[in-house]
């Protein structure tokens, strides 16, 4: 009888016949069953729905917006690079920037246990913010550790470079005392853009400062969610920050550093208060010398910067 009721109020996926859904609530299903002289409670209906594979599910944002040529080839190449570096005990760092957050008494998604609801501003206007937080992460795949930099203004290529420099010299290098090169994997937009030479110039400066070879591999367009830091680090940080009012930068840092998992995931964080200039262009010297070694295989996404003593 339950399936009979559902059949009249069920929609489906024309491509995948196994995907069905109903807009009815438990109470509505109960009322319609009553019309057939079937009287059951909502908890029982919920159990019956589960036996029919109907459970509450969120939508999965997994459909690529656009088919990109050589997409799978680049995924396979990145997987190969990661394996080579990890087997050689060299650092593989997945980098990205999370969504900016306003500092102040603003509402944020999520819930927390509390004796009373927290009272926050009724509007989320930037003009009333005490600042902006720019969380940039560096995820060490082999060590399962995230190094977080909480910026206070703009997400730029220089910001990314200096975050890597800071965390390398303060933490990461001690895990790789003999490393002469590192692998950076990132998406292809924003402060990691695969097409902007100002990004490459900053990576070159990083190579010189750290005195090591830096290999860069970008994920293809529309594939940023496959970047390991997204599901290996940012997902846990989002849960830790859920429902918390970011009244200052210290709260963000403290919560991040208290984020752990059963698999040993941990976070080290610092607040980067430097002001970064937006709209910078690569220098003429860099463009003329072009000290970038592009890979023969998909060079638009793969290149390196050699350090010469």
The residue extents of the domains of the chain are 2-51, 71-276+283-305
DSSP notation for 36-68: TT----HHHHHHHHHHTT----PPP----SS--
pTM of the model: 0.84
Given a cut of 90, is residue 60 above it in pLDDT? no
Strands 181-186 and 92-97, how do they pair? parallel
| Pair of tokens at residue 228 | 């390991």
CA distances from 143 to 108, 194, 202, 297 (A): 31, 26, 25, 28
pLDDT over 90 at 59, yes or no: no
Residue 15 pLDDT level (bands cut at 50, 70, 90): low
Candidates 3.40.50.720, 2.40.110.10, 1.10.10.10, 3.30.420.10; CATH matching 71-276+283-305: 3.30.420.10
Q: What is the DSSP letter of 178?
A: T
pLDDT, the chain, mean: 93
Rg of the chain in Å (alpha carbons): 24
Say what the pLDDT of residue 67 is.
Answer: 79
What is residue 298's predicted lDDT score, i.e. its pLDDT?
96
- pLDDT the model gives residue 11: 77
Given this model, what pLDDT does residue 20 score? 80
Between CA 61 and CA 51 the distance in angstroms is 26
The per-residue pLDDT for 3 is 83
Residues 64-84, mean pLDDT to the nearest whole number? 90
Instruction: Kindly indicate the confidence band of residue 157, based on its pLDDT and cuts at 50, 70 and 90.
Output: very high
What is the pLDDT averaged over residues 63-80?
A: 87
* Of 28-32, 100-104, 176-180, 213-217, minimum mean pLDDT range: 28-32
pLDDT digits (tens, 9 = 90+) for 215-247: 999 999 988 889 999 999 999 999 999 999 999
């Amino acid at each position: 009888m339950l399936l009979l009721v559902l059949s009249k109020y069920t929609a489906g996926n024309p491509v995948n016949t196994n995907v069905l859904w109903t807009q009815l609530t438990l109470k509505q299903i109960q009322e319609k069953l009553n019309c057939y002289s079937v009287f059951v409670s909502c908890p029982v209906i919920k159990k019956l729905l589960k036996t029919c594979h109907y459970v509450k599910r969120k939508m999965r944002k997994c459909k690529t917006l656009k088919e990109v040529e050589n997409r799978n080839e680049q995924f396979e190449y990145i997987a190969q690079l990661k394996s080579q570096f990890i087997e050689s005990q060299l650092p593989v760092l997945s980098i990205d920037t999370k969504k900016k957050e306003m500092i102040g008494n603003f509402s944020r998604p999520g819930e927390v246990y509390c004796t009373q609801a927290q009272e926050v501003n009724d509007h989320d206007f930037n003009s009333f913010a005490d600042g902006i937080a720019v969380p940039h992460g560096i995820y060490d795949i082999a060590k399962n550790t995230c190094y977080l930099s909480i910026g206070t203004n703009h997400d730029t290529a220089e910001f990314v470079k200096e975050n890597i420099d800071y965390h390398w010299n303060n933490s990461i290098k001690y895990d790789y005392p003999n490393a002469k090169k590192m692998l950076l994997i990132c998406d292809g937009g924003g402060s990691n853009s695969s097409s902007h030479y100002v990004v490459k110039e900053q990576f070159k400066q990083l190579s010189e400062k750290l005195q090591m070879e830096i290999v860069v591999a970008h994920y293809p367009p529309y594939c940023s969610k496959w970047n390991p830091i997204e599901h290996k680090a940012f997902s846990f940080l989002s849960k830790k920050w859920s429902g918390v009012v970011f009244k200052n930068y210290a709260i963000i840092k403290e919560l991040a550093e208290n984020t752990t998992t059963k698999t040993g995931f941990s976070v080290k964080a610092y607040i980067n208060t430097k002001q970064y200039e937006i709209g910078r262009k690569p220098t003429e010297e860099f463009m003329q010398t072009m000290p970038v070694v592009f890979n023969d295989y998909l060079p638009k996404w793969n290149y390196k910067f050699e350090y010469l003593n």
